A and B are shown apart, each in its own frame.
Chain A
Amino acid sequence: MPGYLEVSGVSKRFGGLRALDQCSFTIERGKISCLVGPNGAGKTTIFNVITGFLRPDEGTISFNGTVLDHLTPRARIRCGIARTFQNLRLFGEMTALDNVVVYLKGDDAIGPIAALTRPFHTHAAMKRMKERALALLDDVGLAHKANDTPATLSFGQQKLLCIARALATGADLLLLDEPTSGLSQSTLSGMVEMVHKLRDQGRTLLVVEHNTKIVQRIADEILFLHQGRLITQGAPEKIVTDPKLAEIYFGGAL
């Protein structure tokens, strides 16, 4: 059975650096897959390649039976892939609600011409979009912060806002880049619950995560990347006890 997301033989070089080197893996639908590996293993690069932000030098990627190689980032999002960024990239001068509104799927039909020629239609559409955005904020527990700007939110809330934005695209596959990094213990559990909830709602998640304890809590499957290659893939209990991986990850003795 073909995988939900298939990455085959993908390479990406930056000058002399091989960020991805014949990287191949498959992830299954409805699971939480965690990408782990030391700094520079190529985790964020693979996100950029899957979402079309970077073109790979070679290799092919398919999602849900569609080959993505020649699709723009926009077309890939329409296929149902959304991402969050390690550095969040929230719109700092907008409210949380508007941050989500910008990401909502389906408002493309209301371009500048429609805004000028059909103002009442546009106004009604905008109202509906705000309602949808508010519902999404409610899903991640941020409805009470709808009219606040990102700077007034806690770091954990900012990360949840990023997830609400990704959900607004209507994506089935969510690529989350370090959703728990920098979170306090108390907000961490909330994020772990959120990730589980997203999967239980039927979505597939590919998560970059450093904290091995968190990985064990959230992952259905671990993909271990090293020097741009997939070293191994499997259940968390198998991967985290592998001494060879501990050597790569922590530099410990074999």
Chain B
Amino acid sequence: MSFLLSWLILSQIYALAALSTNLLVGVIGIFSVSQAAIFGVGAYTVALLTVSNTVPFPFAVLAAMAICGGLNVLWSLPSLRLWGDYFVITSFGSQIVATSVFINWSELTAGAAGITGIPGPVLFGHEIVEPAEFLVFSTVVLILASVSFWLLMHSPFGRTIDAIRQDESAVLAAGKDVLRAKLSVSAISGVYAGLGGVLFATFIAYIDPTSFDIHVSVLILTMLVVGGARTLAGSIVGPFLLMALPQALAYVDVPSTIAGPLRQLLYGVLLVAFMLFRPQGIAGRRL
């Protein structure tokens, strides 16, 4: 598979995860560090439902969207009572729990070995296996998600959720239903992450718990910081840049044993550098 195609597709997949995080963390201000877990639940759901052709792909996608939306609402419930740093810790715990479940509920998830042989997306009786075809599919999904994000942000609801992050009491004084807004955003954010997971599982055809651990959550947050929060462009630029990094490293002559740690190091350096020198990211606002 060509490097360019895999970079484009993976970037689009992480852009969905970044959109999810953008809405939750960037817009309404629920600082979750567990979006990779929701992304993973989407991936596992579609994998388990389609791996032995038990459920048609579109239904598996709907199931993944519903489960991820619902789960993200549950995940965010502590944010209604906990503020800032306290919720970050809760969310960190949620991520650890999810990873443990992915690893240890081996009857369902096949544990650390992971699930192999996940079929590609099947639409109108045609299975998408060629990367070029997959790119068309993932592009359409990302466009739909982006349009929905844009529509939300440019609606009265978008103004309300933007205001909630800035001053929740003032939104309460406006007579707005803050609770409902937070739950709605959590659900929509979960759906985006779930869709990302669906594309990930059906593109790679293999999933294991390491694809959805805390490092991935931090990676998605880094994409948002680098791209810039609260804008559509930010959620897309960030993933494309950060996914290019491992590929760029492949051109540098480093031993494979240190390529992995070096990549993590570079992600960390990028995160700190952007936080310090360009907190608004490339095309967005300060987180």
One of A89, A115, A129 near B170 (C-beta < 8 A): A89
A122-B173 in contact given A89-B167, A92-B166, A112-B188 (Cβ < 8 Å) = no
A116 and B159 CA atoms in complex are apart in Å by 15
One of A78, A82, A92, A125 near B173 (C-beta < 8 A): A82
Interface-lining segment among B43-51, B72-80, B111-119, B150-158: B150-158
* Interface contact B171-A78, CB-CB below 8 Å: no
Residues of A within 8 A of B174 (CB): 77, 102-103, 165, 168-169
User: Restricting to A164-208, which residues have a CB under 8 Å from any CB of B?
Assistant: 165, 168-169
Residue of B nearest to A76 (CB): B175
Q: Shortest distance in angstroms between A17's beta carbon and chain B's nearest beta carbon?
A: 21
Q: Kindly supply a per-residue 1/0 record for chain A positions 85-110, scoring 1 wherever the CB is within 8 Å of any chain B CB and 0 otherwise.
A: 10001111110001001111101101
Of A93, A105, A110, the most chain B CB neighbours within 10 A belong to A93
Residues of A within 8 A of B157 (CB): 110-112, 115
* Interface contact B148-A116, CB-CB below 8 Å: yes
Residues of B within 8 A of A73 (CB): 172-173, 175
A89-B173 in contact given A112-B188, A116-B151 (Cβ < 8 Å) = yes
Q: Check if B169 is an interface residue, CB within 8 A of chain A.
A: yes
* Interface contact A102-B173, CB-CB below 8 Å: no
The interface on chain B, measured as residues whose beta carbon lies within 8 A of the other chain's beta carbons, has a size of 28
Q: Check if B130 is an interface residue, CB within 8 A of chain A.
A: no
Q: Check if B160 is an interface residue, CB within 8 A of chain A.
A: yes
* Interface contact A126-B173, CB-CB below 8 Å: no
* Interface contact A122-B155, CB-CB below 8 Å: yes
Q: Kindly supply a per-residue 1/0 record for chain A positions 16-36, scoring 1 wherever the CB is within 8 Å of any chain B CB and 0 otherwise.
A: 000000000000000000000
Q: Check if A74 is an interface residue, CB within 8 A of chain B.
A: yes
Q: Check if B135 is an interface residue, CB within 8 A of chain A.
A: no
A98-B159 in contact given A74-B175, A77-B173, A91-B167 (Cβ < 8 Å) = yes
Residues of A within 8 A of B170 (CB): 85, 89-91
* Interface contact A77-B175, CB-CB below 8 Å: yes
User: Restricting to B163-218, which residues have a CB under 8 Å from any CB of A?
Assistant: 163, 166-167, 169-177, 180, 184-185, 188
User: Restricting to B13-72, which residues have a CB under 8 Å from any CB of A?
Assistant: none
Q: Shortest distance in angstroms between B227's beta carbon and chain A's nearest beta carbon?
A: 18
One of A78, A92, A101, A115 near B151 (C-beta < 8 A): A115
* Interface contact A122-B151, CB-CB below 8 Å: yes
A93-B173 in contact given A112-B157, A115-B152, A122-B155 (Cβ < 8 Å) = no
Residues of B within 8 A of A101 (CB): 156, 159
A175 and B220 CA atoms in complex are apart in Å by 44
Tell me the A residues contacting B by CB distance below 8 Å. 51, 53, 73-74, 77-78, 82-83, 85, 89-94, 98, 101-105, 107-108, 110-112, 114-116, 119, 122-123, 125-126, 129, 165, 168-169
Tell me the B residues contacting A by CB distance below 8 Å. 148, 151-152, 154-160, 162-163, 166-167, 169-177, 180, 184-185, 188, 285
8 extra A-B contacts, CB within 8 A, seeds A94-B163, A107-B156, A126-B154: A78-B175, A85-B170, A85-B173, A89-B170, A94-B162, A115-B152, A115-B157, A168-B174
